[in-house]
Each structure stands twice: as C-alpha cells, then as structure tokens.
Amino acid sequence: MTCQVRQGNTCTCRPSNPLPLNIVKNDNFSLLLLYSSPFSSLLLFFVHFLTDMAIWFARSKTLVSSLRHNLNLSTILIKRDYSHRPIFYTTSQLSSTAYLSPFGSLRHESTAVETQADHLVQQIDEVDAQELDFPGGKVGYTSEMKFIPESSSRRIPCYRVLDEDGRIIPDSDFIPVSEKLAVRMYEQMATLQVMDHIFYEAQRQGRISFYLTSVGEEAINIASAAALSPDDVVLPQYREPGVLLWRGFTLEEFANQCFGNKADYGKGRQMPIHYGSNRLNYFTISSPIATQLPQAAGVGYSLKMDKKNACTVTFIGDGGTSEGDFHAGLNFAAVMEAPVVFICRNNGWAISTHISEQFRSDGIVVKGQAYGIRSIRVDGNDALAVYSAVRSAREMAVTEQRPVLIEMMTYRVGHHSTSDDSTKYRAADEIQYWKMSRNPVNRFRKWVEDNGWWSEEDESKLRSNARKQLLQAIQAAEKWEKQPLTELFNDVYDVKPKNLEEQELGLKELVKKQPQDYPPGFHV
C-alpha cells in the first residue's frame, strides 16, 4: 500500500493493488481492514477518523479530570461564541464554519487529524495555566490573594477649560466656540436666570402652586443643549428647562404650563415645571425619580434600530443614582450598545441628603466603568467644558453606537423647590460662596466680555427685555381659561368605564355645590 500526500484535512491514502483480508497493527490497537471492496478508500477514511476521535476523547477526558481536580470545578467552563450568526447557513458556510455552540458542542471544520488534536490539547494546557476562558473574555490567574480597593487613592480629575476668572487655562483641550454661538449661549443663560427669578416670585405671591429653579446650574442647561442636534431626543429630570429654552420653547409656553391653562400642552394635569414638547423632541417631565433612564436606553436603542443619525440624552441628579432605575438604565444601554448620553448633575445635595450619605464611591463617574460605559467628570459651572464634553460624547454615541456617562460637578444654589428651605440643612456661607465665587453665568460672561463680544449695555438691554417679555407672558397666561373638568377624565380609556363616569359625576356635583373652593375661571 502507498500513502500519498494528504490534501487539506482529507487523507488520500489508498492501496496500490487490491488486497485480500489483512490485519493492520499499530501500538494502540488492531483494526481489521477489507481492501477488496470498491469502497476501500471510504472505509480507510473512517478508520483514520475513528482513530483520531478516540485519541481526542481520551485526551479530553484527561483534561476534564485535571481541570476538575485543580480548579475544583464541578463543570468545565467552555468558551461560547455569542457573536451574531445567520439563522440559515449555506452548504459552503456549514463546511467552513467552526464554532462552539451555546451548549458547548465542538464542531470541527472537517475531519480532525491527530496532529491537530495534539496541537489543540497543547494550546488548552498552556492557556489554562495562565487564563480562564470565560464568557465575556479571558481572565488571568494569580496566586496572590488581593482584593480590589474600595476606591482609588486619587480621585478622578475634573475636566475644565475656564478658570474662576473666565480665562482659558493654557493648553486646554476644547472645541472652539464662535462669537455667534458664544453670545447666544450667554443670552440664554441670562434669560434662564431672569425666568427663574420671576416665576419663583410668582409662586411666592400665590399665582402658581409650585416652582423649581436652576440657579447655579445654568451652564449645564444651556451649554449641553448647544452641543446637541435638534434631532437628539431629550429625557429630562426636572431641572433642565434651559434645554427647552435653547430649542425654541417660548416664554409664553413656559407660562402656560406653569399656570395649567387651556394652552398648556399637558391640559393642566401636571404640576408646574413639568414641561414637554413633541415638536422639540423633549419628553414630558415626570416626578418619579430616575424612571427616565431605562426609558432613555429604550429610546436610544430604537434610534439605533432605525439607523437615525441621533442619540438620546437624559439627565439625572446625584440622588437619583441611588434608584434602581439608574443602574438598570446604564446596564441596558451598555449591553444593547444604545447611543445614549447620561448626564448626571452632581450638585452636592439630594434635597436635604448630602452626597456623603448618598454613596461611598468617588462620585458618579466611576460607576460608568462598572457597566462598561465610557465616562468623564466635568466642571458643570464651566460652559466651555460642558459644551466640549457633551458634543464629544454625542459624537461618540452616534458614530460608535455606544452610551457615555458624564458627571457634571456643580452646586444647587437655590432651594430644592418652593417647598424646601435649604438653610435648614446647609450653611448660608456655603450657599453664598457658590453663588458669588463659582457662579457659572458670571464666569462665562467674563470670557465673552474679554473677547469683546459683550458689553454692559448689552447686559442691561437683554435682562430688561427678558423681564418685560416674561411679565407679559405671565399676564396673558393668567387670563386664559382653565381646562374644563372633563379633561381630568379623558385620554386614559377609549371608552370610559362605569366607575370613572361615576367619579366624574360626583366631582361635578361637588364643584357646583361649593364653587368658592375652586379658582376663578374654573368650570365643569
């Protein structure tokens, strides 16, 4: 018998002449081969195949026993390939594809040969001595018992561009801002200040029931909005009215919502400051904390599925990171590789709870890495730093289809809301320091003025006009009729159930009986 060279993984050995019944022996066992048949080549092929497989299984058994003994594993961890595969395979794909199925069955490209089995076992032996081949990636071994420290000895640095005097720090890495954009950013920050002041006073006068300011966080509002595309979908918390202001929400629209009149898009059903606009891709604010984060992950994933050149941007406060939805939202976005920019406003206080009582980690930025999310810590009172960071994060999210986490370091100068008195739990000196020395509007104004783009005359004119327009908007909003009582029961069911009809009837009768208990202009 002659043995010709193997072609690929197929043995082409065949007898040179038909042979009678023969016994072929080797060191391991004897095989009875019949070469007098026309199928001799095929039979010999299977002989080699069975020989190789016997060797492989024998070595695999030894390998399994060794791993179980040395690693104390009841089952062997097998690498699984979770990459996307087509539902249907062609014949050529089946013959050339090799992978480990999710159930751990090994599929070879074709018949294995003894030398390949030797090499594979040797590779496994070498890898197992250094690494654990586990789903998600290889994990190295160490003989040193060492726990990961609870935190780094050095805190994550905070990215900034402008110093406290509004001057650009030498060698700063930032995205340049044009005169037109810079002036508009400052105008909107100043307008937001005026709006907060007047609406807050309106609540104190009893003209609206509730309000919540953004004092101290104007740069996060406006600079982040300036860095986004109008197509990006925003899911706010409740301290981001500046994003709507930047996108074109008018002072009249803000007033209509706060007064809950007929022009309010929410039909008067929401508390004041719970704004929303389909036109401006701004989800309506909801009071429950952190619910918008898993929603943002879902919206971002839908944008990805639709191949939109846009991302989702969602905001949350430091207190919201203690909610389960924060962790669910980040994990969902990371696993699904959804284009979402998570912006956390770390302003030091979750109402009256200080951050030292909120978490033991180095703020929020380190939480991103735990979920496999790229993260950065930014000076939230530096408009240029906020703009650069958000614009870069937005670019990563859209082009790389990945989530990004930004921790904005800032301070809530105002009370949590009109229902809060922050002087009961924090020092007045602390508030004054952040209001005067680290004011984000003043810092950005200095930079704009130093560039010759703004003057005292411009400042006086802007604030005077903003105040005048807002007072006119409030007066007009007060004159609008309130939503009729029936709107309280609409838009929930297509056909009202009987119990809801009974509640509506009972409320109407109560209003008619005691009209003095309801505001002027309120009607059934």
Q: Which residues are the active-site residues? A: 201, 287, 416-417
Query: Given pLDDT bands bounded at 50, 70 and 90, which one contains residue 118?
Result: low
Residue 13 has pLDDT above 50, yes or no: no
Q: Are residues 283 and 224 in the same domain?
A: yes
Q: Are residues 328 and 220 in the same domain?
A: yes
How many domains would you assign to the chain? Answer: 2
Task: Specify if 502 maps to a domain.
Answer: yes
Report angle CA 165, 445, 173 to the nearest 5 degrees.
Answer: 65
pTM for this model (two decimals): 0.75
* % pLDDT > 90, the chain: 66
Q: Are residues 358 and 262 in the same domain?
A: yes
Q: Are residues 453 and 490 in the same domain?
A: no
Residue 107 has pLDDT above 60, yes or no: no
Q: pLDDT per residue over 143-184, tens digit each?
A: 999 998 888 889 999 999 999 999 999 999 999 999 999 999
Task: Specify if 24 maps to a domain.
Answer: no
Query: Given pLDDT bands bounded at 50, 70 and 90, which one contains residue 115?
Result: low
Q: Are residues 503 and 384 in the same domain?
A: no
Task: Specify if 214 maps to a domain.
Answer: yes
Task: Specify if 234 maps to a domain.
Answer: yes
| Whole-angstrom distance, CA of residue 233 vs CA of residue 223 | 16
Q: Are residues 491 and 473 in the same domain?
A: no
Pairing of strands 353-354, 349-350: antiparallel
The predicted pLDDT at position 4 comes to 44
Averaged pLDDT for residues 444-458: 98
Q: Are residues 465 and 506 in the same domain?
A: no
Averaged pLDDT for residues 314-319: 97
Task: Specify if 92 maps to a domain.
Answer: no
Residue 511 has pLDDT above 60, yes or no: yes
State which H helix or E strand residue 405 sits in.
Answer: strand 404-409
The predicted pLDDT at position 101 comes to 34
Averaged pLDDT for residues 294-319: 98
Q: Are residues 348 and 459 in the same domain?
A: yes
Q: Are residues 420 and 503 in the same domain?
A: no
| Whole-angstrom distance, CA of residue 216 vs CA of residue 39 | 87
The predicted pLDDT at position 136 comes to 82
The predicted pLDDT at position 94 comes to 34
Q: Are residues 354 and 494 in the same domain?
A: no
Residue 504 has pLDDT above 70, yes or no: yes
Residue 499 has pLDDT above 90, yes or no: yes
> Which structural domain range is residue 380 located in?
179-479
Q: pLDDT per residue over 19-75, tens digit each?
A: 343 434 444 433 334 444 445 555 556 656 666 665 555 555 444 444 444 444 444
Q: pLDDT per residue over 252-261, tens digit each?
A: 999 999 999 9
| Whole-angstrom distance, CA of residue 151 vs CA of residue 364 | 12
Q: Are residues 497 and 471 in the same domain?
A: no
| SS3 category, 366 | helix
Q: Are residues 512 and 474 in the same domain?
A: no
Q: Which residue has the tokens 């026309």?
A: 38
Residue 379 has pLDDT above 70, yes or no: yes
Task: Specify if 42 maps to a domain.
Answer: no
Query: Given pLDDT bands bounded at 50, 70 and 90, which one contains residue 515?
Result: confident
Task: Specify if 365 maps to a domain.
Answer: yes
Pairing of strands 312-317, 340-346: parallel
Residue 83 has pLDDT above 80, yes or no: no
Q: What is the CATH number of the domain that holds 366?
A: 3.40.50.970
Tokens of 444: 């950005």
